Chain A
């Protein structure tokens, strides 16, 4: 997996302004990226994700430190040089009247075309395959204004592919998209990284997807700066907990996923297992009731029964006082009896 080093950030200082009035957002940032890697940059709003992305893309100057792309000093590169090394997909809403997918992706070839930007046969081939890789070949002649948000995002990713760079940088490509479209975009980026050997750096808020699909995570927080590593190593080091503590997010060791943290004011023992148990636990957690394993001494408890059909029983003083078919009714029963 470990390929060639692509991006090296060393003691980078990012922020706004110049000289004495400069406002430093982060200092001493340290990170590396390799070929074929999908890296997700995570962090709360306002921690400087976009500032970091913009600095790496060369849209704003760094306040100090070093950043190099394929061994060249990123901060000194001209637009022309950078355009052949890093392609971006931004959150900027772009409205180009009349532009089709093909025309947009064709603009991705601009760093290589002449004065009038005319595409030669090779450029056209690259445009075609880029659109194909993004799975929107059937929309090639379609106008951008007629595409769904997900398709539009794919068109911009195709543009970035056509740019033929070693690294693709995306600023929240999954924002504004619905769940299936988010997964699709993530899968597409995963494929691009794995199959073409390009490196993909994206900022995102989709914690679950990032944990499952990213090779490395970059965690950016006000307290700890930039932490990097594989998702699993970061989990083992318990880095998420420290970043998200007191923010209503808990890490579930059983599922390896994050879940919303609840304020429990009540506990109830439950006997049972399986999918029904998991769902029952979730429904009760939402209502501030923590479910615990039934111990011998408990006299009041809930039981998940799976005979012919699923049912839930409510026991009080060792006797069954109610049986319900749905979690909704069980919840009502429990809350009433409390």
Chain B
């Protein structure tokens, strides 16, 4: 026990240090280099500094950093919950069809409304942004409600998984139909939304976003006992005193909420939710979800920050879309995890 606790605390400490380091890097690095002392002055002491620096930090880099951190944390935790609930290493936040629901909501507003009412969506400006977040939340909430209803009525884990995947197909078919009949400009905007971004929120909203992702992610540790039991299978879990239906409902609601929030504000972010839980399990080598959730939260945030950093590497004209970076980081991680398992002769 001492040896194992040692490993877990080492991993969690290292992950925390890595996270702090990446937060700093996200503030320091960019097309303009801003020294640490200046950042300290801007954020904490309030001393008089270069106005340009202050603007860059407060209006661009800080909100981006907060959004990346919150989104990564939420997706990592949501992915872990899904993988344990469905006992499927390929499950992730997107399997429940929640991000598809979001996408459909956004597509509906961006493509359909403009089409019918006879104006391009882009001309709406700030109201458009609000409409996107709102429609995305509505779409995600509707799918989540449907999934929760199904999980409550049918009960089987596999059926929920399959229905989630089917909802994904349905909504993507509706989206492509909407795309087909929409003006080019709106379709372009929709595609850009679909590529995901951590830089859509201004400072105040980013702070809000940070709160509503980080706090529930940490609160997810309250589900750790249920998750530990569910990992044994429904029957063992129920024999150990777990109310399966209630536990499943809570877990789906929790991860659904986290996914819905992130997708609404950042677009459908891929791969972090699938790759990070694997990384967390591999590094901490424990089956206790209390530590796994903490680990997935820290590593998720770190991964998202790393992706954000890479997306706007110094020397590049334009930021890269975040999803191209997450896939680039995430896919090798998953492959590496499988490779490592093969070597250790351990089957999931």
Residue of A nearest to B341 (CB): A97
CA distance A2 to B2 in the complex (A): 45
- Cβ of B239 within 8 Å of any chain A Cβ, yes or no, is yes
- Cβ of A88 within 8 Å of any chain B Cβ, yes or no, is yes
Interface positions of A from 89 to 120, Cβ below 8 Å from B: 90, 92, 94-100, 102-104, 107-108, 110-111, 113, 115-117
Whether the Cβ atoms of A94 and B286 lie closer than 8 Å is no
Quick one: given A95-B347, A145-B346, A145-B347, are A107 and B228 in contact (CB under 8 Å)? yes
Quick one: given A95-B347, A107-B229, are A88 and B235 in contact (CB under 8 Å)? yes
- Interface-facing stretch out of B24-32, B171-179, B219-227, B253-261: B219-227
Instruction: Map CB proximity to B onto A187-222 as digits: 1 under 8 Å, 0 otherwise.
Output: 000000000000000000000000000000000000
- Cβ of A84 within 8 Å of any chain B Cβ, yes or no, is yes
Whether the Cβ atoms of B241 and A97 lie closer than 8 Å is no
- Cβ of B53 within 8 Å of any chain A Cβ, yes or no, is no
- Cβ of B61 within 8 Å of any chain A Cβ, yes or no, is no
Query: With a CB–CB cut-off of 8 A, which chain A residues contact B225?
Result: 110, 113, 115-117
- Cβ of A35 within 8 Å of any chain B Cβ, yes or no, is no
Whether the Cβ atoms of B241 and A110 lie closer than 8 Å is yes
Quick one: given A88-B235, A145-B347, are A163 and B288 in contact (CB under 8 Å)? no
- Cβ of B9 within 8 Å of any chain A Cβ, yes or no, is no
CA distance A100 to B5 in the complex (A): 13
Whether the Cβ atoms of B235 and A59 lie closer than 8 Å is yes
What's the minimum C-beta distance from A316 to chain B, rounded to whole angstroms? 62
CA distance A86 to B290 in the complex (A): 27
How many residues of A are in contact with the other chain, CB < 8 A?
A: 36
Quick one: given A97-B287, A110-B225, are A92 and B242 in contact (CB under 8 Å)? no
- Cβ of B285 within 8 Å of any chain A Cβ, yes or no, is yes
Contact of B348 among A88, A95, A111 (CB under 8 A): A95
Contact of B241 among A83, A100, A102, A116 (CB under 8 A): A83
Query: With a CB–CB cut-off of 8 A, which chain A residues contact B235?
Result: 57, 59, 88, 90, 92
Quick one: given A92-B233, A95-B348, are A87 and B221 in contact (CB under 8 Å)? no
What's the minimum C-beta distance from A115 to chain B, rounded to whole angstroms? 6
CA distance A145 to B348 in the complex (A): 9
- Cβ of B240 within 8 Å of any chain A Cβ, yes or no, is yes
What's the minimum C-beta distance from B297 to chain A, rounded to whole angstroms? 16
Quick one: given A80-B241, A90-B235, A97-B348, are A110 and B229 in contact (CB under 8 Å)? yes
Contact of B224 among A58, A80, A98, A117 (CB under 8 A): A117
Whether the Cβ atoms of A163 and B240 lie closer than 8 Å is yes
Query: With a CB–CB cut-off of 8 A, which chain A residues contact B222?
Result: 115-116
Whether the Cβ atoms of A82 and B239 lie closer than 8 Å is yes
Query: With a CB–CB cut-off of 8 A, which chain B residues contact A58?
Result: 238-239
Interface positions of B from 265 to 280, Cβ below 8 Å from A: none
Residue of A nearest to B1 (CB): A102
Whether the Cβ atoms of A84 and B241 lie closer than 8 Å is yes
Contact of A108 among B1, B240, B287 (CB under 8 A): B240
Whether the Cβ atoms of A111 and B241 lie closer than 8 Å is yes
How many residues of B are in contact with the other chain, CB < 8 A?
A: 32
- Cβ of A132 within 8 Å of any chain B Cβ, yes or no, is no
Quick one: given A92-B235, A117-B225, are A79 and B241 in contact (CB under 8 Å)? yes
Interface positions of A from 139 to 163, Cβ below 8 Å from B: 141, 143, 145, 163
- Cβ of B159 within 8 Å of any chain A Cβ, yes or no, is no
Contact of A79 among B243, B286, B347 (CB under 8 A): B243
Whether the Cβ atoms of B287 and A94 lie closer than 8 Å is no
Instruction: Map CB proximity to B onto A150-181 as digits: 1 under 8 Å, 0 otherwise.
Output: 00000000000001000000000000000000
- Cβ of B248 within 8 Å of any chain A Cβ, yes or no, is no
Contact of B242 among A79, A100, A103, A163 (CB under 8 A): A79
CA distance A100 to B4 in the complex (A): 11
What's the minimum C-beta distance from A58 to chain B, rounded to whole angstroms? 8
Instruction: Map CB proximity to A onto B324-348 as digits: 1 under 8 Å, 0 otherwise.
Output: 0000000000000000000000111
Residue of B nearest to A86 (CB): B239
- Cβ of B146 within 8 Å of any chain A Cβ, yes or no, is no
25 contacts between A and B (CB under 8 A): A79-B243, A80-B243, A84-B241, A86-B239, A88-B236, A90-B233, A94-B233, A95-B87, A96-B231, A96-B232, A96-B287, A97-B281, A97-B348, A98-B284, A99-B231, A100-B4, A103-B286, A103-B287, A107-B240, A110-B229, A113-B225, A116-B224, A117-B225, A141-B4, A163-B240
Known: A59-B239, A145-B347. 4 other contacts (CB 8 A): A59-B238, A83-B240, A92-B236, A95-B87
